[in-house]
Amino acid sequence: MSDLLETVRGLAKKTDSKIVLVVLDGVGGLPLEPGGETELASARTPNLDTLAQASQLGELELVGAGITPGSGPGHLSLFGYDPLRYVVGRGALSAVGIGVKLAAGDVAVRGNFAALDAGRLVLDRRAGRPSDEKNAEIVALLRAAIPEIDGTPVEIYTESEHRFVVVFRAAAGAPLGAAISDVDPQATGVVPLTASAQDSASEKTAALVNTFVARAEEALRGEPQVNGVLFRGYSDVPHFPSFDEAYQLRAACIASYPMYKGLASLVGMDVLDVEGQEDALEGKVAALQANWDNYDFFYFHVKKTDSTGEDGDFAAKVRKIELFDTLLPQLLALKPDVLAIAGDHSTPSKLASHSWHPVPVLIHSAYGRKDAAQRYTEEEAARGSLGLRRGTDLMPLLMAHGLKLNKYGA
C-alpha cells in the first residue's frame, strides 16, 4: 500500500456513520468561448446550489498536474489507491464488470467498434454509438469468425454501445504479456495503429491483436456502420488491497456501466443490482434506498455527464447535470452523515475528450467548516477551503468527516 493508505488502514475504525460518494463522471468542463461559462456553471442546479452553501468545496487532481486521467486511474484515486502504483488496464476492468473470470496469464482488452472509410481512415471511433442490440449482433458475427488465433482461444463479449471486450486465453505454462501499444489512435482521419510489444513477454499478444484486427475488418466488410475495431487498455489479472481491509467499510457500488462495476468489484465492493437503463437514474436511487441499512459506504456513479462531453455536446451535458440535480433531494432525504460529489476526471465538451483540468469536489457533513460558496461550479471550487488536493486525499477526508479514524500518534 502507499504510505497514506497504509496509515489510514491503521487508523480506520468501524462506526455507524454512512458515507455516500457521488461520482459525476467527467463533470469538469470548459467554456465554449473565452469568458463564458462551463457546463456545470450553465446548468440550473438549485439543489446543488443549496447544498454547496452548506458544504466545503475544493479541487482534485486525480493523478498529477497536467496529466489527463483515464476513468480507471481517476476512480482508483478517488477510492484512495495511488493510480501510479495500482495500475490496471481498462480491459480487466471491463471484463470483470461483465462477469468474465480471468486466470493468470490471460490478457483482456477493451475494444471500440469503429467506422472506417475505404482507405481505413477512422471516420468515427465509436461507430455512431450503436445500440446494445447491434453490439451483440456484431459480437456474434465476430465470435463465429474468430474463435481462435494460431491455437490461442479468443473470447469476445458485449460491453455496451460501441464497447466490447476480448480475452486472449493463455495456454498452461505460457502466460501472455500485456505490455502492448494501442491500436486506437484516439483521432479521426488517420488509420488505426499497429499494436507493438513493449517487452518480449508481450510479442505473441501483439501478434494476436494485429491478426484479430485484420480478421475483424474482413468479417465486418459488409456492415454499413460498424466495419472496424480499435483496441486500448490491455491488462492481465490485477490485485488490490480490499476496501474493507483498508477502511473497515462495508462498501457498495451503484453503477450501470460494466467498467465501473468491474473496478468496484476489484477493490472488494459489493455491486448492487440496478434496474433500468444508464440514463434512468431513478433505478440507482431506488437501489440506494433499498440497500441503505446494509452498508456504510456507497459509491454512486453517474455516466452520462461524461459521454455527452465526449460527444462534444455542451447542451446535452448541461441537461444531464440538471437531471442529477432533480434527484439530489432523494439522496439527501436518506440523511447520509457524509456526502461527497466529485468527478473522476474532466470531460469538457469543447475538447470532446478527457482533460487534465482539476475536478470540483464538494464535501457535506456536520463537521465541515462553512465555505462562502454559492454554487457547485469549477470557479467556486477553486476558491473553496479544501484547496487543490490529490485525489487520494478524498477518502481520508471522508473517513474523518464520518468520525471513522482514530488519532494518529500520542
In this prediction, residue 343 has a pLDDT band, given cuts at 50, 70 and 90, of very high
pLDDT at residue 278, rounded to an integer: 60
Specify whether the CB–CB gap between 286 and 334 falls below 8 A: no
325-330-333 Cα angle (round to 5): 125
For the domain 94-235, what is the CATH code?
3.30.70
Residue 81 confidence class, pLDDT cut points 50, 70, 90: very high
Selection from 323, 313, 309 nearest residue 277 by Cα:
323
Give 357-391 pLDDT, tens digit per residue.
999 999 999 999 889 899 999 999 999 999 999 99
Mean predicted lDDT score pLDDT of the chain: 93
Q: Which is nearest to 242 in space by CA: 269, 271, 270, 268? A: 268
Asked whether the predicted pLDDT for residue 338 surpasses 60, the reply is yes
For the record, the C-alpha cell of 174 comes out as 505460457
Confidence of residue 2 (pLDDT cuts 50, 70, 90): low
User: Is 227 within 8 Å of 221 (Cβ atoms)?
Assistant: yes
Domain residue spans of the chain: 3-87+240-401, 94-235
Cα separation values, 378 from 47, 61, 75, 183, 310, Å: 17, 13, 19, 34, 18
Taking residues 194-213, report their average pLDDT.
Answer: 96
Q: SS3 sequence, 333-371?
A: CCCCCEEEEECCCECCCCCCCCECCCEEEEEEECCCCCC
- State residue 355's pLDDT score: 97
Whether residue 327 contacts residue 282, with contact meaning beta carbons closer than 8 Å, is answered with: yes
Pair type for strands 107-116 and 163-168: antiparallel
C-alpha distances in Å from residue 221, one per residue of 27, 132, 216, 232: 37, 20, 8, 22
Rg for the chain, CA atoms, rounded:
21
* The pLDDT value given to residue 292: 98
Query: Residue 391 has what DSSP assignment?
Result: G
Contact 274, 255 (CB under 8 A): yes
Give pLDDT, residue 88: 78
Please answer whether residues 334 and 30 qualify as being in contact, where contact means their C-beta atoms are separated by less than 8 angstroms: no
Alpha helices in 158-229 (DSSP H): 203-219
Which tens digits make up the pLDDT trace of 12-36? 999 999 999 999 999 999 999 999 9
The cell numbers describing 149, all together, are 488465433
pLDDT score recorded for residue 235: 87
Mean pLDDT to the nearest integer, 63-72: 94
Taking the CB of residue 222, how many other CB atoms lie within 10 A of it? 7
Q: Is pLDDT at 193 greater than 90 in this prediction?
A: yes
pLDDT digits (tens, 9 = 90+) for 251-291: 999 998 888 988 898 888 999 999 876 667 899 999 999 99
CATH node for 3-87+240-401 = 3.40.720.10
Q: What is the mean pLDDT of residues 194-217?
A: 96
Strand order across the beta sheet in which 387-390 lies? 270-271, 251-254, 297-302, 19-24, 338-342, 359-365, 56-61, 387-390
pLDDT bracket for residue 347 (50, 70, 90): very high
pTM higher than 0.85, yes or no? no
* Res. 236 pLDDT band, cuts 50 70 90: confident
Rounded Cα gap, residues 276 and 281, in angstroms: 8
pLDDT of residue 279: 63
Mean pLDDT across the stretch 144-164? 93
pLDDT over threshold 80, residue 89: no
* Residue with grid cell 455527464, as numbered in its chain: 305
Contact 208, 152 (CB under 8 A): yes
Query: Are 107 and 178 within 8 A, CB to CB?
Result: yes
Pair 120, 218: CB distance under 8 Å: no
- Dihedral sign for Cα 84, 87, 91, 93, please: negative
